[in-house]
């Protein structure tokens, strides 16, 4: 029995989709969520600074008693997973490996597309991990930096969003990929738009559920489960409360957000 919380962190609020998936599969576990809203986006920052921020956040979650840490941010998972793993003693799970496994499982023609932030795509983490698992896979990667602000603004459809998606998705159409990894916390909210601009049959890989399953397995294997009979709680820590905070958080969480604390992290 371990009633300590599961720690989850992201550069902002997009990782709340992962928190939601974990709470669904592990309703009796409490979650502490850290969103570095003051410093979002990480996706166009240097590897050095992404590692530095990630280590600091991991320390914070440990200080709050996290029994396991989930790096819900694709950019931080791509650039800082190894460092965070070396830095703390609790198990660390990133979003890339579960996404890679799900993509390899989904593809039938072995042609996988990956979209993500500039830093994630530059790191080649998805590409290298897919090819390390199966060298016969073809991977086509494309950074989509404008998707994060579109989602933050709530522009999930409409002519401008369609036009942007169309430009970003062009390489996947010509390369005939049958599976597209949504390698960024924000992209799952664009699923209907992406499907409409590419091909309705394409498999869109959202790592939130595979990550939640991985946490479920890990918690049981390592005997870290809370065994509590009451529902777990969700406590959020963020570094800045900006004007649209609540609307954006609730868009990702698909429900009301309560218990939010601002942390002075500078
Ligand atoms: N959370 C980031 C990711 O999943 C997207 C937002 C950002 O650039 O910080 O890569």
Residue 236 is among the residues annotated as catalytic for this protein: no
* Packing angle, helices 74-87 and 125-133, rounded to 10: 80
Q: Could you tell me if 109 and 182 lie in one domain?
A: yes
Report which DSSP code applies to 234.
Answer: E
Instruction: Give yes or no: residues 15 and 45 share one domain.
Output: yes
Residue at a domain's end among 179, 205, 231: 205
Give me the number of domains the chain comprises.
Answer: 2
Nearest protein CA to atom 1 of ligand 1, as residue: 73
More reliable by pLDDT, 228 or 8: 8
For residues 138 and 111, what is the distance between their CA atoms, to the nearest angstrom?
5
Looking at the fold, whether 70 and 136 belong to one and the same domain comes out as no
**Is residue 224 domain-resident?**
yes
How does pLDDT run across 91-109, given as a tens digit for each residue? 999 999 999 999 999 999 9
Whether 50 and 110 share a structural domain = no
Is the residue at 85 inside a domain? yes
Closest CA to 42 of 71, 70, 64: 71
Q: Evaluate whether residue 39 is within a structural domain.
A: yes
| Residue 143 domain flag | yes
**Residue-number span of the structural domain to which 251 is assigned:** 6-94+208-262
Give yes or no: residues 222 and 198 share one domain: no
Is 1 inside any structural domain? no
When pLDDT is cut at 50, 70 and 90, the band that residue 229 belongs to is confident
Average pLDDT over all residues of the chain:
96
Mean pLDDT over residues 61-82, rounded? 98
Same domain for 128 and 60? no
171 and 47 share one domain: no
Residue 42 Cα: closest atom of ligand 1: 9
Same domain, 104 and 200: yes
Q: For 158-216, write each residue's pLDDT tens digit.
A: 999 999 999 999 999 999 999 999 999 999 999 999 999 998 789 999 999 999 999 99
73 pocket-lining for ligand 1 (C-beta < 6 Å) = yes
Does one domain contain both 86 and 43?
yes
Asked which of 205, 231, 253 is the last residue of a domain, the reply is 205
Q: Is there a single domain that holds both residue 64 and residue 117?
A: no
Residue 139's pLDDT is: 98
184 is known as an active-site residue: yes
Using the atom order of ligand 1, give the atom closest to the CA of residue 15: 1
User: Per-residue DSSP letters for 80-95?
Assistant: HHHHHHHH-SS-EEES
Q: Is the pLDDT of residue 266 over 80?
A: no
Residue 139 lies in a domain: yes
CATH number at residue 188: 3.40.50.1860
Distance of alpha carbon 239 from alpha carbon 49, whole angstroms: 16
Annotate 125-183 with DSSP letters as a single string. Answer: HHHHHHHHH-TT-EEEEEE-TTHHHHHHTT--SSHHHHHHHHHHHHHHHHTT-SEEEEE
Could you give the CA distance from residue 2 to residue 225 in angstroms, rounded to a whole number? 6
Cα separation, 180 vs 203, in Å, equals 6
Do 132 and 227 lie in one domain? The reply is no
Cβ–ligand 1 distance for 239 under 6 Å, the answer no
Distance from the alpha carbon of residue 108 to the mean position of ligand 1, in angstroms:
28
Tell me the pLDDT tens digit for each residue of 114-129. 999 999 999 999 999 9
Which has more confidence, 26 or 265? 26
Per-residue confidence (pLDDT) for residue 265, from 0 to 100? 78
- Distance from first CA to last CA of the chain, Å, rounded? 35
Residues 126 and 179 placed together within one structural domain of the fold: yes
Distance from the alpha carbon of residue 217 to the mean position of ligand 1, in angstroms: 26
Q: pTM to 2 decimals?
A: 0.96
């Amino acid at each position: 029995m371990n009633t300590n919380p599961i720690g989850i962190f992201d550069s902002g609020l997009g990782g709340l989709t992962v928190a939601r998936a974990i709470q669904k599969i592990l309703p009796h576990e409490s979650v502490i969520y850290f969103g570095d809203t003051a410093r979002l986006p990480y996706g166009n920052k240097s590897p050095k600074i992404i590692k530095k921020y990630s280590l600091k956040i991991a320390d914070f979650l440990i200080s709050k008693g996290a029994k396991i840490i989930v790096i819900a941010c694709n950019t931080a998972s791509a650039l800082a997973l190894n460092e965070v793993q070396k830095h703390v003693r609790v198990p660390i799970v990133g979003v890339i490996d579960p996404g890679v496994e799900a993509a390899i499982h989904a593809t039938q023609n072995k042609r996988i597309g990956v979209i993500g932030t500039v830093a994630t795509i530059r790191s080649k983490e998805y590409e290298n991990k897919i090819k390390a698992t199966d060298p016969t896979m073809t991977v086509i990667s494309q950074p989509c930096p404008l998707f994060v602000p579109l989602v933050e603004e709530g522009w999930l459809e409409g002519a401008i969003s369609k036009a942007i998606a169309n430009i970003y998705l062009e390489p996947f159409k010509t390369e005939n990929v049958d599976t597209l990894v949504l390698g960024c916390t924000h992209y799952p909210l664009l699923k209907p738009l992406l499907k409409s601009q590419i091909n309705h049959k394409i498999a869109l890989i959202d790592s939130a559920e595979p990550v939640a399953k991985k946490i479920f397995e890990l918690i049981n294997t390592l005997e870290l489960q809370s065994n509590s009979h009451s529902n777990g709680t969700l406590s959020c820590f963020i570094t800045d409360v900006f004007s649209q905070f609540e609307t954006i958080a609730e868009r990702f969480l698909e429900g009301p957000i309560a218990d939010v604390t601002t942390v002075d992290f500078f």
